[in-house]
């Protein structure tokens, strides 16, 4: 899950705000996984969606990321609108379902 935060401002410390957003995202992911009966690791990142996914693919040395559209709306549907950039910037094939 990606947690986009406001751009840095020299006069404003957003550390606490970013930590609160990240913890809220962690809680939402845990609740969703419990509801769906999923027992798999997840990562919450502080980044724009496409940039964050690209960094995670590189960090994890991914060889085949899989992106699915599903039937959800809201937060998760944003992934689909960023899919072209994810595929374009990926150093490996991306399976889109």
Going from N- to C-terminal start, the domains of the chain cover: 1-46, 61-97
Q: Give the largest Cα separation in the chain, rounded.
A: 44
Q: Are 67 and 32 in contact (CB under 8 A)?
A: no
Is the distance from CB of 97 to CB of 68 less than 8 angstroms? Answer: yes
Show pLDDT as tens, one digit a residue, over the chain (97 residues). Answer: 556 656 666 677 878 888 899 899 999 999 999 999 999 888 888 888 788 888 888 998 999 988 876 655 555 555 567 788 888 888 889 888 7
Residue labelled with tokens 């699915």: 68
**CA-CA distance, 80 to 17, in Å (whole number)?**
27
pLDDT of 6:
61
Residue 43's alpha-carbon distances to 10, 27, 97, in angstroms, are: 28, 12, 21
pLDDT of residue 5: 59
């Amino acid at each position: 899950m990606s947690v986009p935060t406001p751009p840095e401002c020299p006069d404003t410390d957003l550390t606490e705000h970013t930590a609160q957003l990240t913890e809220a995202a962690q809680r939402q992911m845990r609740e969703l996984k419990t509801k769906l009966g999923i027992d798999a690791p997840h990562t919450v990142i502080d980044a724009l969606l496409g940039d964050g996914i690209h960094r995670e693919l590189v960090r994890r040395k991914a060889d085949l990321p899989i992106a699915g559209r599903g039937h959800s709306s809201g937060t998760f549907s944003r992934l689909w609108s960023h899919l072209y950039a994810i595929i374009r910037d990926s150093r490996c094939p991306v399976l889109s379902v």
